[in-house]
Structure 1
Amino acid sequence: MSGTSVLTKDNVKKKDTTTNFQESDINVLIDSASRVIAPLWPLSTFAARNPWMGLEKQSFEEVAGWLKDTRGIDIYPSASMILSAKRKGEIDQDFVKMGLERWLDSHSFNVPREKAEQFCHAALKLEALPSNLLSSSELEKLADEFRGLNLDSIDNPSIQPISSRIENQDGEKLVNILDHHVIKWSKLYLDESQAGWTMPKREEGFYRAWQRLIQYDPALSKKQRKSLKDWPQEPHMALEKALSELNIPESEIQNYLEGHLLSLPGWAGMMLWRSQQSSHEHALLTEYLAVRISMELVLVKPNLPLTKQQSEKKVSIPSLIASWFQWGNLSIEEWKQLSSAEQNEYLSFAYSFDDKLRRKIWLEAWEQTHADQLSQKLTTKKRKTDSEKSNLAQLAFCIDVRSEPFRRQLEKEGPFETIGIAGFFGLQIATNELGSNHSHPSLPVILKPKHKIKETADEKEFNSYLERKQAVTSLGTTFKAMKQNTLASLLLPELSGPWLTLQMVGRSFVPRSANRFIRNLRQSWLQKPNTNLSLNHEHNKEMEIPIGFTEEEKVNYAHQALKMMGLIENFAPLVVICGHGSQSINNPYAAALECGACGGAAGGFNARVLATLCNLPEVREKLSFEGIEIPRDTVFVAAEHKTTVDELHWIYVPELSEAAQKAFDRIEAVMPKVSDNANKERLAQLPSFQSKVKNPTFEAHRFAEDWSEIRPEWGLARNAAFIIGQRELTEDFDLEGRAFLHNYDWQQDRSGELLGNIIAGPGTVTQWINLQYYASTVASHYYGSGNKATQTVTSGLGVMQGNASDLLSGLPLQSVMESDSEAYHSPLRLLIVIQAPSEYIEKLLNNNPAFLDKVQNGWVRLASVDTDGVWINW
């Protein structure tokens, strides 16, 4: 791994060290540097993000070391998390020993093996060195006498912003002052919903708006403002000039840009996301860096030039010697008897077997224990002999880990088959609900919609509904406008006080009743009519994407979804397509609970579209030519699984056949029991849940509707595995809501194309979700978002802690922590398990270099269950 950057730089032109280059050159450098951050979606379209998505060509271990050296960010679980998992029985000590043996065998050292093993076993207890030992005068004396340590790996790991090396008169580092300025300007530019006044000149872009307004910034001195008066009009020229005056050699520019992006990865990530959304803002990240580094130059200019400093990682000789006394059981006399060369070897060994490596061994043992426990479940089950099961209904759920407990409870109550598939059901659509002027992409954020599906209604009913909806919308818009207007806001408390007081009292003391009353009042007023879907193709030049599908596309989408579900024969009378959504009040992260992959879009609309397509006679007729014969009495319906309350809400139920009606009635009859059991299981994991509660479903609704409840559900916490195989592989097992489940039958996928699509789509999404939970747990201060109770929603797009922090990119503590000191989420890298012959896995890895990188570099783990039920680790 490079000592200066975690990134490969093969695509960056090598030139001399003068800072004189074209706009295309700086764009290449910025593009390369941007890999150290990840795009950040706004809260309203929150999507899970892998914060290291651009670094997967390097190993997890390399990136962990680089982040620790450059930013002081530790991405291995803490010692307290590991020891807590050990106490809970989540880590088998034998795997720790095996990991240690592998490390010892793969490294050469001149320390006796017995001594080395003794040292390592003691160090792996993860106990801190005693303070009285570290502070002893004898230890200091021994350290002072030692001069022989030579460690090649100690070097300058990255180029940090110059402002991080300078303090002002009050002892505050200038980089903190720089961050404060950048946050202020970023908030002004990005705000689209909260500020009463928008940023002047905003339409000209971030850099130009800043360049014109900075002349009036009272936070800068007159001299500082004057230095920016004739600053270049173009961002790339401003960036070039600032880097030149800061005397950053061209060979170090990419590293320097990385350092600035990592200073505020949230705001930088939002700029990166915005730059990818439209051609109008395609250069936004360049503008951001131009603003930031120009501001840095202004702040540090009085201190220039700085003397060249080589930043070295400090090695504490006393602590290395003390570690041999404590863990190696060496006495002072034995240490003194060692030659200088031997002492050097001992200290080099202790330096190599550092805290990061010890926790790496523990993490891998934790992951191996989880894999071992899962393999015992999946490979010891007796296979059912009957190949065809008679099911009253088949229900397709999202692969979301929250579906697994609900599916398990449902299967216990009758002859129901449940199926796992990505919850957008393969439909690349944007949805346009009745009366809305805006469409919302309803698919994973890694894809773009190709069709728009609109809700339609009878014209007379629609016009009446639209009038009522506009009245409600106008009321909200007026309230918001008054709140943001300086004069009108003075009258607002008088006008709205009585109603808001009643609302506050109701939601505080009887939240369930109050919210049900408000919801019913809204629904009874709106009276949304019955709607249809615009499934038929319409397109003209003014449309960005067409409305509806062609006849061929209808068949293709239905065929693709049924094949992904493995549902091409043996249809039950009733097939339920189940999207999933959530339900919570006063929750900035509500979209995250809806769907971590689809930008906050619930899956019910997609479920209705697919069910409707599969009921069309012309679609069924053409499917039959492709070998999928759907019986005449089989009916597709759509529902939505509300994860917060574990209920099934019907969305689309057409006329049912006699057999389908019987199945529907059976599901309705068992659903109260299914919901109760699923809620009881899920709520028992919440720290504030009282186990003596008699009605779990009632309590689940209270959690969902209480606006003071900071944890309405655990979301996808504790996710750890993605299992791709037939339901027979996992049914009857309690997977504790920790596994994404996707149906897959390799015998229906002779080419391996279907498996490749699952890995490329759902496989990527599940990995992003997994690593977001991982990062938010192990480094919550940097990759998480802190305490939900103290968050501030800012600019209508994200959250901060206080009024001037980074735009926080990850999950709040309440999504991953059981208490201040105890983690709920187990930070394990995703284990992907595929039920298929080994040649399928080999073909997958050969055909998908990006996935091969993820496996080989430790970003995901891979295992398979072959045709004989044998577990294989890859």
Structure 2
Amino acid sequence: MSKTTVITLERLKEQCKRKKEEAFYSIHELVEQASEAIAPLWPISTFIARHPWMELEHMPFIEVAEHFQQSQKVNLFPTMPVVKKALAKGEIHSSFVEKKLKNWLSGQYLLVHRNKAEQLCHALLWNDSVPYEWLDSLELHTLAAEITELIGSLHSKVEKPISVHIKQLGERLDQQMIKWCKLYLDEKQAAWAMPLREQGFYSAWQQLVKNDPALSKRERKRLADWPKDAKEALLHSLSLLNIDDKKMKDYLESHLLALPGWAGMLKWRSKQTGEGVQLLVDYLAIRLSLEWVFAAPYLPLDQKKMTDPSSILPLLAAWIHWGGMSVDEWRQLPVYEMKFRLVFADRFWRINRHHLWLEAWEETYESQLKEKIASRPNVGQPERTAVQLLFCIDVRSEPFRRYLEQSGPFETYGCAGFFGLPIRTRELDSHYTHPSCPVIVEPQHEIYESSAQDRVAEYRRRLNVFQFIGDTFKKMKKHALASLLLPEMSGPWLGLHTIARSAAPGWTGHVIQHAEKTAERKPPTKLSLHHEESSSKSGLSIGLTTDEQVQYVKQLLTNIGLTSSFAPLVVVCGHESTTTNNPYASSLDCGACGGTAGAFNARVFASLCNLKEVRKGLEKEGIVIPDETVFVAAEHITTVDELYFLDMPTLSKAAEQSLNLLESKLKEVSRKANAERLKKLPHTGKYKNPIKEANRRSVDWSEIRPEWGLAGNAAFFIGRRSLTKHCQLDGKVFLHSYDWRKDYSGEALENIVSGPATVGQWINLQYYASTVAPHYYGSGSKTTQTVTGGLGVMQGNGSDLLSGLPWQSVASSDWELFHSPLRLLLIIEAPHFYIERLLQHNPLFRQKVKNGWLRLSSIEPDTRKWIKWDPSMI
């Protein structure tokens, strides 16, 4: 062999190797692009607000809506029956709809006369469908067939998986993927763990599938020599399925959207472990491998399909009867104009009219809110403030804050419920830490609880007893022989427990709660506030340096505008919910604290504010806290609207008087807030005492609506409380305190918009998605859900992992919505140039507003002028 030949062969090998590496790199990129259509899904134990389209905000909302309608048959707009009910209740003013239609038509390129287009669109806007009798015409059917032959399909072809085109194959493929995902992602709930799990998802499957009895012998044989590498297997599958390079991204996206819940959980897990989208590559490699195995006998598919004339029949009928065109006029039109008119009517019917109705609904709400804020009553000279209370921006705090302020000389402030502390928390005698901050914030420090050694040892013994009993009970349930004896041993006691829980849920629930607290007896604890040289297992620094303590306190107080005129008592209120037998319990806790209660963060912040060295540091920054001012941590229980004090430091005389005054008012405040909430809850029945009824619901294990959570959220207000203090906001507005006069650089405003406002938007869009598309983004009825693998819920034992909120969280009944599906309205009290600067410096925020994911208005502080920031002008 000549030297030239050897060199050529080496070059060929090198080229092949390079091409293979490029293919591997490109397939990883394609999976990353395809995964933009799904959002990460957190485990239900820390249920986090999930914006389903968070990685699609570079596209306009209306385009994303059209994409999902075309590809998944999922409608992202409120249905016409929902809109008609809102119209009947006065939530939509018809004048806004008409105005929106005219403005929309003015911005369209029309090949038809404006009057005819308006006539058609007006009729399509107000009618649910084309009358059936209009379609029953032989002449119209003939015309539809002729036009279909001339113009073909109105829509571009959507790339769908091959398995979708084969009867029952898609369903079988989904069931297989659900089974393997459950096994791999299980959080130690299964009696038998998945073998080889530590080797990775694809590797474990590739070795185990050869023995899967759910596959036939012939199907298993097709996988005998299957690639051992996930990327290679994915490329191999795409090649065998004959997927064109240009269509690969859309093809992979369709497979991810087939089970967005399980795919979302894998995406979250992959990001948690720092693997990018590796688990999604594994998932798609398994899914497409199985797709080829199942579909092989049917390949190649004959996918030629004539366009059905019936799809354009209603559009023709609409043009003829509402657009004032005859059949003869249609036959005389050029082909391009025929297609234009049909596409125009089709898109307006499917997308534009729904978008116009949504915008009109949103404008109506905004005008009503504007009117409330503008109607400021004349108030006399305010009393000297006795107590200032810091609440989470959560919409559930709004009624409680309102009644508190009405009851005495109290001021309330709103901020994110983690109080600006990027921390992981570790409770007493626990080996586990929890990120107690929003998911968009990376924890920087760890704070743990400690107590005297003898007390900790005693506390640990009590906990170990409970854990031993629980673990033993679980093991006996799963053991073949012990499970036969367990009903005989536990039956009488569990039977009495069931009878008591059902017959007297309120009394029994409170007795059990009291018994648990008495048995646990957690000792008083201290917090590791000060920096320690050693690091935690997570690699984070334990505690905070004095400079860090000062900066975190300064930042929050500056953000909310509380930098002077401190009251003798400042109460820092975290919040949590109390419910029983509720898989969604964490969704009712503080989202800003990672889906847990906010008490820990409240204790940390209040303790920091009381430190002498922190106050000295704040003085240098221009924030002087008087010696008589004491910060106290408390917790707002949202289900029953009660305020519990946590750590009580030594109080000054003035602070003690303020505390006594506050405590004397709390019961009446709680009664009023509960009475307001209970009016909104369905099936409350007759009750005398609203506090007692709210408490019963919180411990009733059959209660599917212990509270409404954040349902109804529609707006986010950033400004001084004085502008909204007089308003009955109906628990629909996030309230974040902000004083532009103390924010010269605009940094505080940008922090609020990038942090709390973004979390508020995620919450809003999660409720929106669960309302408009409950079958796809919701989680169905609570009564038929199954908790699986410690991860989340399914409907039955073999569905997608359900990512959104249950129907009972957004609807009063099967026919009546409680949550109005509106995109969040952000209102900022600041001068015009503050908003311009914000939009210029924050491109992500600008993108949200411009593409319709968030609506923006502002209030000029001096003139009270309301300015609407139109997306088209940004």
TM bracket, shorter-chain basis? over 0.9
TM-score (norm 1): 0.94
Give the match for residue 98 of structure 2. Answer: 97
Compared CA separation, residues 254 and 313, structure 1 to 2 (3 A): farther
Q: Check conservation: 1:155, 1:311, Cα contact below 8 A.
A: no
Give the match for residue 252 of structure 1. Answer: 247
Letter in structure 2 aligned against 1:671: L
Compared CA separation, residues 228 and 383, structure 1 to 2 (3 A): farther
Superposed, 1:377-416 pairs within 5 Å as 377-381=372-376, 390-416=384-410
Superposed, 1:345-360 pairs within 5 Å as 347-360=342-355
Give the match for residue 506 of structure 2. Answer: 512
Gaps of 5+ in 1: 1-14
Higher mean displacement: 491-500 or 284-293: 491-500
Q: Tell me, yes or no, if structure 1 residue 747 matches structure 2 residue 741.
A: yes
Compared CA separation, residues 533 and 314, structure 1 to 2 (3 A): farther
Partners of 1:147 and 1:324 in 2: CA distance:
16
Partners of 1:25 and 1:114 in 2: CA distance:
51
Secondary structure of the residue that 2:270 maps to in structure 1? helix
Superposed, 1:341-490 pairs within 5 Å as 341=333, 344=338, 347-381=342-376, 390-490=384-484
Secondary structure of the residue that 2:593 maps to in structure 1? coil
Give the match for residue 217 of structure 1. Answer: 212
Compared CA separation, residues 512 and 238, structure 1 to 2 (3 A): same
Partners of 2:60 and 2:133 in 1: CA distance:
38
Compared CA separation, residues 340 and 221, structure 1 to 2 (3 A): same
Give the match for residue 124 of structure 1. Answer: 125
Letter in structure 2 aligned against 1:166: I
Offset, 1:113: 3.1
1:38-70 CA-partner distances (Å, limit 9, x unpaired): 000000011010000010000001000111111
Higher mean displacement: 434-443 or 374-383: 374-383
Higher mean displacement: 693-702 or 374-383: 374-383
Partners of 1:329 and 1:736 in 2: CA distance:
46
Offset, 1:460: 1.3
Offset, 1:597: 4.1
1:486-525 CA-partner distances (Å, limit 9, x unpaired): 3322222122222211211111111111111111112212
Offset, 1:236: 0.9
Compared CA separation, residues 311 and 398, structure 1 to 2 (3 A): farther
Q: Tell me, yes or no, if structure 1 residue 757 matches structure 2 residue 751.
A: yes
Quote the sequence identity (%): 52
1:685-719 CA-partner distances (Å, limit 9, x unpaired): 011123x4211111111111111111111110110
Matching residue within 177, 196, 216 for 2:191: 196
Letter in structure 2 aligned against 1:762: P
Give the match for residue 840 of structure 1. Answer: 834
Gaps of 5+ in 2: 1-15, 870-874
Matching residue within 294, 297, 301 for 2:292: 297
Give the match for residue 58 of structure 2. Answer: 57
Give the match for residue 723 of structure 1. Answer: 717
Q: Counting helix residues as a fraction of each chain, which structure ranks higher?
A: 2
Q: Check conservation: 2:571, 2:632, Cα contact below 8 A.
A: yes
Give the match for residue 872 of structure 2. Answer: none
Secondary structure of the residue that 1:652 maps to in structure 2? coil
Superposed, 1:201-280 pairs within 5 Å as 201-279=196-274
1:345-381 CA-partner distances (Å, limit 9, x unpaired): 6545433431321111110000011111111222342
Compared CA separation, residues 624 and 671, structure 1 to 2 (3 A): same
Q: Check conservation: 2:376, 2:726, Cα contact below 8 A.
A: no
Give the match for residue 72 of structure 2. Answer: 71
Give the match for residue 764 of structure 2. Answer: 770
Partners of 1:237 and 1:650 in 2: CA distance:
59
Higher mean displacement: 306-315 or 360-369: 306-315
Give the match for residue 4 of structure 1. Answer: none
Compared CA separation, residues 663 and 62, structure 1 to 2 (3 A): same
Letter in structure 1 aligned against 2:160: Q
Compared CA separation, residues 803 and 864, structure 1 to 2 (3 A): same
Partners of 2:695 and 2:529 in 1: CA distance:
35
Compared CA separation, residues 147 and 30, structure 1 to 2 (3 A): closer
Partners of 2:647 and 2:309 in 1: CA distance:
65
Secondary structure of the residue that 1:446 maps to in structure 2? coil
Letter in structure 1 aligned against 2:172: I
Number of residue pairs the alignment of both structures matches: 847
Partners of 1:753 and 1:775 in 2: CA distance:
32
Q: Check conservation: 2:858, 2:868, Cα contact below 8 A.
A: yes
Matching residue within 800, 806, 810 for 2:804: 810
Superposed, 1:765-804 pairs within 5 Å as 765-804=759-798
Q: Tell me, yes or no, if structure 1 residue 321 matches structure 2 residue 322.
A: no
Higher mean displacement: 275-284 or 573-582: 275-284
Offset, 1:465: 1.1
Letter in structure 1 aligned against 2:816: E
Q: Check conservation: 2:418, 2:592, Cα contact below 8 A.
A: no
Secondary structure of the residue that 2:755 maps to in structure 1? helix
Offset, 1:322: 2.0
Compared CA separation, residues 307 and 276, structure 1 to 2 (3 A): same
Letter in structure 1 aligned against 2:267: L
Offset, 1:85: 0.5
Give the match for residue 846 of structure 2. Answer: 852
Q: CA RMSD in A?
A: 2.1
Q: Tell me, yes or no, if structure 1 residue 649 matches structure 2 residue 644.
A: yes
Matching residue within 852, 862, 871 for 2:866: 871
Give the match for residue 160 of structure 1. Answer: 160
Compared CA separation, residues 429 and 813, structure 1 to 2 (3 A): same
Give the match for residue 32 of structure 2. Answer: 31
Q: Check conservation: 1:48, 1:597, Cα contact below 8 A.
A: no
Q: Check conservation: 2:148, 2:307, Cα contact below 8 A.
A: no
Letter in structure 2 aligned against 1:49: R
Q: Check conservation: 2:417, 2:592, Cα contact below 8 A.
A: no
Higher mean displacement: 646-655 or 304-313: 304-313
Letter in structure 1 aligned against 2:230: P
Secondary structure of the residue that 1:209 maps to in structure 2? helix
Q: Check conservation: 1:205, 1:281, Cα contact below 8 A.
A: no
Q: Tell me, yes or no, if structure 1 residue 336 matches structure 2 residue 336.
A: no
Offset, 1:541: 5.6
Partners of 1:197 and 1:765 in 2: CA distance:
38
Q: Tell me, yes or no, if structure 1 residue 526 matches structure 2 residue 520.
A: yes
Q: Check conservation: 1:155, 1:313, Cα contact below 8 A.
A: no
Offset, 1:115: 3.1
Give the match for residue 283 of structure 1. Answer: 278
Give the match for residue 13 of structure 2. Answer: none
Compared CA separation, residues 280 and 335, structure 1 to 2 (3 A): closer
Letter in structure 2 aligned against 1:595: C
Partners of 1:313 and 1:640 in 2: CA distance:
61
Secondary structure of the residue that 2:635 maps to in structure 1? strand
